[in-house]
């Protein structure tokens, strides 16, 4: 508690330690789906009167009670967010940054539409699609090169070869060359 000796008013400093959102045991809340009427009614139903506090002990007790009340109201009014799906195995940090850049460009073009901003948005979206295509292709190549005789058919089946051809393997893009690369890799792994 800090007192200012030049004034007849006193100040009380209270530090609340709130749990961080990064802690694994604390559920992440979905505030957009919160029922704020329930939250307000829970706070109002407590009828806490903070105007008659006498000293530090009363203030600390009131703050503790009020923080407990807030936590109870949040538990009732704000649903827990469902776990996110795991990211695609081909996703990487550069794709996250590129996606954020596309969103910013789209937002600028939407808020203040000019030819320059619209073209910048289209250009970034085009670059984004190329980055995604390249990341997927690199992942497919890595998967095919790391496959074994037991998992080769499952790996190839996941690539949906009828609609999307197998990407070049070790620089070979013709069918016979790709087959030879796969045979060599499988022979090498079986030894």
pLDDT tens sequence for the chain (191 residues) = 444 455 556 666 766 665 555 545 567 888 888 888 888 888 888 887 777 778 888 888 888 888 888 888 888 888 888 776 777 888 888 899 999 999 999 999 999 899 999 999 999 999 999 999 999 888 888 887 777 777 777 766 665 545 666 778 888 888 888 888 888 887 766 55
Specify burial of residue 180 (Cβ count, 10 A radius: 0-12, 13-18, 19+): middle
pLDDT value of residue 58: 81
DSSP type of residue 24: T
Residue 4 in contact with residue 10, Cβ under 8 Å?
yes
Tokens of 76: 């009732």
pLDDT value of residue 136: 87
Is the alpha carbon torsion for 74, 75, 76, 78 positive or negative?
Answer: positive
pLDDT value of residue 73: 87
Residue 19 in contact with residue 70, Cβ under 8 Å?
no
Would the pTM count as exceeding 0.75? no
Alpha helices (runs of H) in the chain, residue ranges in sequence order: 36-46, 55-77, 93-111, 115-145, 152-158, 175-190
pLDDT value of residue 43: 83
């Amino acid at each position: 508690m800090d007192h200012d000796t030049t004034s007849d008013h006193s100040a009380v400093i209270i530090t609340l330690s709130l749990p961080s959102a990064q802690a694994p045991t604390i559920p992440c809340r979905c505030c957009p789906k919160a029922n704020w009427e329930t939250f307000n009614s829970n706070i109002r139903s407590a009828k806490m009167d903070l105007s008659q506090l006498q000293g530090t002990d009363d203030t600390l007790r009131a703050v503790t009670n009020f923080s407990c009340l807030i936590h109870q109201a949040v538990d009732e009014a704000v649903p827990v967010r469902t776990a996110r799906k795991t990211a695609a195995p081909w996703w990487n940090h550069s794709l996250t940054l590129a996606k954020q850049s596309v969103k910013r460009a789209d937002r600028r073009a939407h808020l203040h539409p000019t030819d320059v901003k619209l073209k910048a948005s289209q250009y970034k979206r085009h670059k984004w699609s190329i980055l995604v295509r390249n990341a997927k292709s690199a992942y497919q190549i890595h998967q095919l090169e790391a496959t074994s005789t037991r998992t080769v058919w499952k790996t190839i089946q996941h690539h949906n070869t009828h609609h999307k051809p197998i990407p070049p393997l070790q620089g070979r893009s013709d069918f016979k060359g790709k087959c030879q690369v796969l045979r060599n890799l499988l022979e090498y792994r079986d030894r």
